[in-house]
Amino acid sequence: MRPQVFDFQAYVAQHKDPEARARAMSFGEYAYRGDIKALRTLHAFMPVRMMLSAGLQLWAGWGRQAVLTQSTKASEKEGARVHRAALEAAQALHMPPVQVFLSHQLKDASAHALGDREEVFVAVHTELPKLLDDRSLLFELGRQFGHIQNAHVVYRTVYYYADELANVVLRWVAKPAVMAIQHWRKRATLTADRAGLLACRELDVAIRRMAQQAISTRRLEEDLKLEDVLEALRKDPGAPPFGEKVGAGRLPLHLRVAALRAFSQSQFYLEHIASYAEKGKSLSAVDDELDAMLRG
């Protein structure tokens, strides 16, 4: 399977108009079909449209500035390691270079694809590169670039400010809109995980990073150790390895890991890493597995 040819002008036009992007079906070839289906319904849902309008106004008014205050744009001179990883991740996903900023204004030591219809970028907490090795950093940036490539950004930006928006929009608007976005967000996570794996090309690295991130959310027991979690996932991939308290809009770690393992056995991924020793599953078959996981 050859990578799709990238059309830069279409990329710009479609990111200014998410509806046009949905009509054109210009998602990454790797995107989970459940994500695409849920995304197509979001903009037609009136509460989401109202929340989107309020959210983008909030973003333009102070959100963008708050994130980028005293930030540094990653370049060969500043944040060179992040800059190199960003270029490699974009190349792996057949995207043009993406603006990446190092910021200490994020809510936690993480990375977020943020923006509106005019501009998108990735904000990386200044502490995050210190915590990650090069391959883990590639996975994390690949995930965020996957959000950009698949028209996730405006909805993720609005969700990022969901608490603030709940005080701005009518209560009858906020609750159903947030629930709809949460339903989609779970599926978007699976697409982003695939993008991260395509960038770093190492399943073990991806799983380790997902486990690190799950533990760092503090929704898990505080005495959990990373190696214990990884060993539990290896012994019984289909079962939760701990008493995980998953927030709304999130997927349990064991489901994310199982979904990514299934994707790693696809013909698409095997060809991406130039592994031709065995024939992989079709993406359609992998998506059928994911559909069953989510129903279960």
pLDDT tens digits along 220-229: 445 678 888 8
Distance set, CA 296 to CA 25, 51, 135, 293 (Å) = 28, 30, 32, 5
Averaged pLDDT, 124-149? 97
Tens of pLDDT, residue by residue over 36-81, are 999 999 888 998 988 888 889 889 988 899 899 999 999 999 999 9
Confidence at residue 90, expressed as pLDDT on a 0 to 100 scale: 97
Q: What is the mean pLDDT of the chain?
A: 85
pLDDT surpasses 50 at 24: no
